[in-house]
Amino acid sequence: MTSLPTHKNVVLVGHSIGGLAISKAMELFPEKISGAVFVAGLMPGPNINAGNVYIELCNAVVSKLDNRVIYHNGSSNPPTFILGPKYLARFGVGHYTSKGIFFFSVEDVSKEIILSRKRYGSIRRAFVVTSEDKLLKKEFQQLMIESNTPDEVKEIEGADHMVMMSKPHELFKFLLRFADK
């Protein structure tokens, strides 16, 4: 982002946990971002802590297959979530690792992603709701929308969590329309 010329702006798109990454970028570089789209993505904000939305994602996946929770820093500190190889294989990424993926701790996320109305809140946002999402349930997507109302909400009927695979044309059309505004 720092290498972008000052007269160039971008539209950021974050899917799933990638919503945390674009949120952090929005806080750090609001002058370089013309919009942000959260595609079934974690959408924290000034009114909804990043750690809280992260916990919701982790709770949705922790009980599945071989995922697990560890208390790496002791039981009095927040837990760390690890996605297991069987779980990752279901999403087509299992061949990258046989040991699982180590998530950041809730404490790390809460410390690293602090969002303000002045910077993060100054950027136009959209949220894409995936109606058949079995990972980020529609109710949780609605909770994020109500707690941190974006400028635009687009529901893609019949889309699962991997909307870029299940409904790619609908997603692409929406992204083009959003970017053109």
Question: Which residues are part of the catalytic machinery?
Answer: 16, 133, 161
Question: Tokens for 92?
Answer: 């087509």
Contact 43, 23 (CB under 8 A): yes
Residue among 124, 125, 129, 126 nearest 40 (CA) = 129
- Residue with token string 């529901």: 155
Rounded CA separation 81/45 (Å): 22
In single-letter form, the type of residue at position 48 comes to I
Rounded CA separation 69/72 (Å): 9
Q: Find all residues with CB under 8 Å of 55, minimum gap 6, and list them.
A: 106
